[in-house]
Structure 1
Amino acid sequence: MSNRTVRFRGVDVRIEVIELLSLIRKHGSLSKAAKLLNIPYSTAFRMIKETEATLSEALIEGVRGGSRGGYSRLTRLGEELLLTFNEGGLEGGLTVASSHDELLSYILDDHAQVTWVGSMNGLSMLLVNKAQVAGIHLSSIYGSNLKLLSMLGVLDDVALVRGYVRVIGIGYSGGLGSLSLRDIAERIRRGELTMVKRNPGSGTRLLSELWLRRMGVLNPRSLNVVAWTHDDVAKAILRGEADYGFITQYHAEKWGLNFIKVIQEDFDIVVRRDSINEAEGLLKELRRLRGLNVKGYVINSDVGEIIA
């Protein structure tokens, strides 16, 4: 094994740990990651635990149950470590820190290093040059994504690329029966339903908090663990850990949840201006979406165009 290390948060992290995290992210299994690196599971486990002890924070976490029978995923720190190591970009690829979205995931496929951190977190990472591209959906909070970037005064540094519109709302367990928006709001106010929240800094978290405040709910009953993707929201509901969560229509139908529409929002792409050339492939793939009909999305003819 190599003795090479990278510097992260003031400590030396072995290259093998980075490689393990990358494979865990892809396959959802520490044992499979160890096997692919041709090292014993015990060695892989020890390296991860030693690094976590040095950083005083977990890099991976286990997720119980579900159709996959349990799996491992990176924590926020694990995602940050992996992205920081790859901040110069993969070979021929981009570094993307984004709000979770199915269409963007489909477009990027295996051609980019992606971390789903949420709109605000992704934009922050972009501005400090830890990512080249961010996907954001903050139009329902600020009026438009362009208005937010203008308000922040960052348009000299980043370009806004037109994305698409998606439907977002409340996904809930079929065991609750058929509910209206008023029904579910009243049951939330009475503290009868448990919510799975998205991670802080995500556009969906901001939207859910805004909607709940408007419904007169300041402290909803919720899980202690947050969900980093729309898939994680759905899985928590299907496992019976929560009754509802804010989710895209696409993901609610993908996982067979009941769904109530709350709003349509713009999901746009932000690119560092010094990375426009590297992002041309992404813009081309976005333009290929024109004319595509995907349930839960509205894809207009200007998708993939730089608008500011």
Structure 2
Amino acid sequence: MDENSALTPQEVADILKIAKNTVYELIKRGELNAYRVGKKVRVDVKDVEEYKNRTKSIKSDSHLGNFNERSGAGSLITEEFIRSGGFVICGQDVMLDILSRYLQMHPHGIQALRAYVGSYNGLYELYQGNVQIATAHLWDGDTGEYNVPYVKRMIPGVPAVIIHLAGRLQGFYVTKGNPKGIKGWEDLKRNDITIINREKGSGTRVLLDEHLRKLGISGRNIKGYDRESTSHLAIASTVARGGADIGIGNEKSGLQVKGIDFIPLQTERYDMIIKKEDIEKAPFKTVLEIIRSREFKTELEGIGGYDLKDLGKLVAET
């Protein structure tokens, strides 16, 4: 993405994994540069990157400080917060922001901090004890299963409970009208195709790499494979602007971007992972109560883009 490209506040919010209102607040406080085009607010990509780099500069020499650097969370997660008993929910979907709000408002709830990191890193931090809840949508190409094989491998010797949140449709973002006639994974073998990729550790990146492995395709042979972006919306926007022929992401995000067609490929399982030793503790019981409530489900239904028929269902214990 060109560093001088103009982003809307919503696109900035999706890149930073924050609410749009928070973007306006950052602009108001002078922490994020912006300008107006008529009545519309716009932010340059380079200013978003400068903001991210400034927040990353607040680190600790400890392992928890390294977590901030790896996750891109910057000052959002501090060593002091975690050591003081902070409750951290790890993952990138907006439903987790809604869950955090419900948790804060619940009579027996708690204020939760959000860590906006990908599935792989989230499981790693759960294993290390740095977060209380992780979420994942990691597809295993050998078994066709989501998440369970990864939880078993990445949290060894620690019993865990996997709770289903939602089904989400994953696929290709292509330019409106699909001028290159792209149909599926096999098209990645073509030499006239350029992609925009997700960051390492995200469930979408794992999905791509597993399919490439099964097809015997090396990422080195795909144009754009090393170009990374950290949100579905930013990926779709790049494709819409002609910066790539293919981006991979969920249907819900792609529909927010003009000039994009969505090619469905597979339905993924988005799950919540909790250590079994924690499941009967008060905050965790409240979390489960919330996600199984009619109110929470109704709000997600209003957003759209989720298959919620198994919301709150126990998937597996490891």
> Normalised by the shorter chain, which TM-score bucket?
0.5 to 0.7
- Aligned positions, number: 257
Of 162, 165, 171 in structure 2, the residue corresponding to residue 163 of structure 1 is 165
Say whether residues 1:96 and 2:89 are aligned partners. Answer: yes
In the other structure, the counterpart of 1:55 is none
Of 241, 249, 252 in structure 1, the residue corresponding to residue 251 of structure 2 is 249
C-alpha displacement of 1:208: 0.7
Equivalent position SS for 1:231 = helix
Task: Provide closer, same or farther for how the CA distance between residues 193 and 178 of structure 1 changes in structure 2, counting only shifts above 3 A.
Answer: closer
Between the aligned partners of 1:300 and 1:202, the Cα distance in structure 2 is 24
Equivalent position SS for 2:90 = strand
Equivalent position SS for 2:309 = coil
Between the aligned partners of 2:249 and 2:131, the Cα distance in structure 1 is 25
In the other structure, the counterpart of 1:108 is 100
Is contact 1:27-1:33 (8 Å) kept?
A: no
- State TM-score, norm by structure 1: 0.67
In the other structure, the counterpart of 2:271 is 268
In the other structure, the counterpart of 1:123 is 123
What are the ranges of 5 or more consecutive residues in structure 1 without an aligned counterpart? 1-21, 36-40, 46-61
Task: Provide closer, same or farther for how the CA distance between residues 94 and 216 of structure 1 changes in structure 2, counting only shifts above 3 A.
Answer: same
Q: Deviations over 1:158-195 (max 9, x none)?
A: 3322222211111122264383415x743x42332321
Q: Deviations over 1:180-233 (max 9, x none)?
A: 415x743x4233232111111111101112223444531211165411222222
Between the aligned partners of 2:241 and 2:41, the Cα distance in structure 1 is 10
Q: What does residue range 50-199 of structure 1 map to in structure 2 within 5 Å?
A: 68-70=42-44, 71-72=47-48, 74=52, 77=69, 78-85=72-79, 87-88=81-82, 94-98=87-91, 100-109=92-101, 112-141=112-141, 143-152=145-154, 154=156, 156-174=158-176, 176-177=178-179, 179-182=181-184, 185-186=186-187, 188-199=188-199
C-alpha displacement of 1:132: 1.1
Between the aligned partners of 2:310 and 2:209, the Cα distance in structure 1 is 32
Between the aligned partners of 1:251 and 1:214, the Cα distance in structure 2 is 27
C-alpha displacement of 1:273: 4.2
Equivalent position SS for 1:300 = coil
Return the letter of the residue paired with 1:195.
I
C-alpha displacement of 1:240: 3.1
Is contact 2:232-2:249 (8 Å) kept?
A: yes
In the other structure, the counterpart of 2:309 is 300
| Percent identical residues | 21
Between the aligned partners of 1:25 and 1:271, the Cα distance in structure 2 is 30
Q: Deviations over 1:16-44 (max 9, x none)?
A: xxxxxx99994278664457xxxxx9xxx
What are the ranges of 5 or more consecutive residues in structure 2 without an aligned counterpart? 1-17, 35-39, 54-67, 105-110
C-alpha displacement of 1:124: 0.4
C-alpha displacement of 1:287: 1.4
Task: Provide closer, same or farther for how the CA distance between residues 87 and 260 of structure 1 changes in structure 2, counting only shifts above 3 A.
Answer: farther
Task: Provide closer, same or farther for how the CA distance between residues 254 and 123 of structure 1 changes in structure 2, counting only shifts above 3 A.
Answer: same
Equivalent position SS for 1:258 = strand
Is contact 2:233-2:253 (8 Å) kept?
A: yes
In the other structure, the counterpart of 1:27 is 23
Task: Provide closer, same or farther for how the CA distance between residues 153 and 69 of structure 1 changes in structure 2, counting only shifts above 3 A.
Answer: closer
Between the aligned partners of 2:21 and 2:127, the Cα distance in structure 1 is 24
Between the aligned partners of 1:156 and 1:88, the Cα distance in structure 2 is 20
Between the aligned partners of 1:24 and 1:130, the Cα distance in structure 2 is 27
Q: What is the aligned-residue RMSD (CA, Å)?
A: 3.9
Task: Provide closer, same or farther for how the CA distance between residues 267 and 180 of structure 1 changes in structure 2, counting only shifts above 3 A.
Answer: same
Q: Which segment is superposed worse, 157-166 or 127-136? A: 157-166
Return the letter of the residue paired with 1:95.
V
Is contact 1:198-1:229 (8 Å) kept?
A: yes
Q: What does residue range 162-241 of structure 1 map to in structure 2 within 5 Å?
A: 162-174=164-176, 176-177=178-179, 179-182=181-184, 185-186=186-187, 188-218=188-218, 219=220, 220-222=222-224, 224-241=226-243
